[in-house]
Amino acid sequence: MTFWLGILLAVYVLLMVGLGLYAGSRVNNEEDYLVAGRRLPLWLAWGTLLATWFGAATVLGASEAARAEGVRGTILDPFASGLALIVAGLFFARRVWEMQLLTVGDLFSQKYGRKTELVSSVVQALGYLPWIAAQYLALAAVLTHFFQIDHTTAIFGAALFVTFLTMIGGMWSVTLTDTVQICVVLVSLVLLGVKFASTVGEGSVAGGITMTWEQTPLELRTLLPEAGLVALLGWSTTWLNGVFGNIPGQDLMQRIFASRSGSVASRACLLAGCVYILFGLLPVGMGLASRQLWPDELPQGSDGHVILALAELFLSPPGICLLVVTVMAIVVSTCTSAMLSPAALLSHNLLNRIAWFHERNLLTNRLSVGFVAITSLPLALMTEEILELLESALAVGLVALLVPFVAGVFLRPRGELPGLLSIGCGSLFWMGQQIAVSLLSSETVPTGTLKTILTTVPPELTGLLASIAGYLIGQWISPRVDMPRVV
């Protein structure tokens, strides 16, 4: 099987390289590279949005979380993350598209000023590095499992491939490869789900689904929180993180900017969000089902990955080969999208301030992609917790950027101070509480009111409240400033 898998993988790589080179031929300026010339129709905008979301956390992470914790463990992905797309489509897409921006940093520049643009771009770019690292790990896991490639070598190989695809054609490359790959992966997941359900249900797909659901313990079949204040706060924070932590993200907004019109951007978000939740239920269901097949632990050779274990049990060798390549494809899609986002901020909002880079926009964009790829590698080499990496990336958007972003879209900030205080307060309180909890967690530190509060309230909630307070304080002490109206 390894031989045929290698052949199919080689065909996939050649196809993606061909699409990347074709996309590169369509890039003539920075607008083409960063937002595909603002020419994406609905089917391409929808395809690249869905592919960006449907990555390692959905395919591998959600199935493993469902097996370990039940449906409640998958709140972040797919439920909250899918809802984020729907919220973006309903409330943000049209309004943001009309601003005619290239990056989220441009919004901060227009609404607050150059200092806030600089700070927000640095904060957001750093927040993408864990997300990119998560995709490296997912690709490396597949390569290691099926080809026995050294884990470190697999990470470097995955990074090299996605860097090439992103660098060569920018948003055009990412969009075209995304749309092709997401169609294939959805078909493959449906085939695996149907095969599994019909086998369990003795020929009936509906019977297999019903049997799996009925045999899953009741406490594992709910999205509601466990009893207790600590559980409620953690549950609420997960929803906040997933829904609103995604909203100010460059990856989401870049696809809105690239759409042909505001209405196309709105419809693409709504369609992608609904489809994402629907198809995201497949890995969740497979994770629950794996508990019935393997109550104690997954079989040896699966490396702890539910999807791979189920594929080897229920699919023929050609089916396994197709699934493996398509899982890799969708992770590649997510990674290229995640890589382009911080690269856009780095090149357009940071390096563009320097005359040499400003005169060489396309070269700067491509060099920035390479820099982002290199700086995300150490994170992938240090940890293998995919969902924890994703949560860290989302937390940055929630605690530091959400409040000034929403205020910039809907309100009238009074200059630099509200934005800077919001970003600074949110980030400092979030990081400060995590450090304090780490120090206080020692058994030598006696239990007290402060320790109880710090260990009970999630740092993300503290950071969000601090960000709101920072913005309000900045508005209160700043004089009224008439910022330039965006046409």
- DSSP string spanning 372-402? HHHHHHHHHHH---HHHHHHHHHHHIIIIIH
pLDDT of amino acid 486: 46
In a domain, 481, yes or no: no
**DSSP 8-state class, residue 37:** G
pLDDT of amino acid 277: 93
In a domain, 432, yes or no: no
% the chain with pLDDT above 90: 43
pLDDT of amino acid 390: 57
In a domain, 462, yes or no: no
pLDDT digits (tens, 9 = 90+) for 37-74: 999 999 999 999 998 888 766 777 788 889 989 999 99
- Decide which of 302 and 397 is more confident: 397
pLDDT of amino acid 394: 64
- Average pLDDT of the residues in 265-280: 94
* Interacting residues of 139 by C-beta distance below 8 A, sequence separation 6+: 154, 155, 158, 162, 328, 331, 332, 335
Enter the tokens of residue 222.
Answer: 């709910």
Tell me the CB-side half-sphere exposure of residue 151, using CA atoms within 13 A: 9
CA distance 344 to 372: 10
Instruction: Please report, for residues 115, 354, 364, the alpha-carbon distance to residue 360 in angstroms, rounded to integers and kept in the order given.
Output: 23, 10, 6
- Decide which of 482 and 350 is more confident: 350
Most confident listed range (211-220, 395-404, 453-462): 395-404
Enter the tokens of residue 83.
Answer: 């809802």
pLDDT of amino acid 136: 87
In a domain, 475, yes or no: no
**Cα angle value 135/255/169 (rounded, 5°):** 70
Q: Is the pLDDT of residue 256 over 90?
A: yes
Q: Is the pLDDT of residue 5 over 70?
A: yes
In a domain, 148, yes or no: yes
Q: Is the pLDDT of residue 423 over 60?
A: yes
State which residues form the domain around 62. Answer: 2-394
Q: Is the pLDDT of residue 385 over 80?
A: no
pLDDT of amino acid 20: 87
Q: Residue 371: exposed, middle, or buried by beta-carbon count in 10 A (0-12, 13-18, 19+)?
A: middle
Closest CA to 382 of 129, 146, 145: 129
CA distance 154 to 144: 7
pLDDT of amino acid 387: 46
CA distance 388 to 131: 10
CA distance 121 to 117: 6
- Name beta bridge partners: 40: 259
Residue 22 contacts residue 171 (beta carbons within 8 Å)? no
Element (H, E) at 429: helix 416-440
- Decide which of 446 and 235 is more confident: 235
Element (H, E) at 334: helix 317-344
% the chain with pLDDT above 70: 92
**Cα angle value 344/57/191 (rounded, 5°):** 115
pLDDT of amino acid 303: 63
**CATH code for the domain in which residue 100 is found:** 1.20.1730.10
Count of structural domains, the chain: 1
Q: Is the pLDDT of residue 12 over 60?
A: yes
In a domain, 465, yes or no: no
Share the mean pLDDT of the chain.
86
Least confident span in 79-88, 292-301, 369-378: 292-301
* Interacting residues of 435 by C-beta distance below 8 A, sequence separation 6+: none
**Cα angle value 253/483/426 (rounded, 5°):** 55
pLDDT digits (tens, 9 = 90+) for 166-186: 998 899 988 988 888 888 778
pLDDT of amino acid 200: 73
Residue 208 contacts residue 219 (beta carbons within 8 Å)? no
Tell me the CB-side half-sphere exposure of residue 100, using CA atoms within 13 A: 3
Q: Is the pLDDT of residue 317 over 80?
A: yes
In a domain, 413, yes or no: no
Quickly count: other Cβ atoms within 10 Å of residue 202's Cβ. Answer: 9
pLDDT digits (tens, 9 = 90+) for 280-292: 888 888 888 888 8
213 band by pLDDT with thresholds 50, 70 and 90: confident
CA distance 31 to 158: 27
**3-class DSSP state of 360:** coil
**Cα angle value 316/318/322 (rounded, 5°):** 115
Closest CA to 172 of 40, 263, 341: 40
pLDDT digits (tens, 9 = 90+) for 388-416: 555 566 688 899 999 999 999 999 999 99
pLDDT of amino acid 384: 52
pLDDT of amino acid 426: 96
In a domain, 73, yes or no: yes
pLDDT of amino acid 326: 78
CA distance 173 to 181: 12
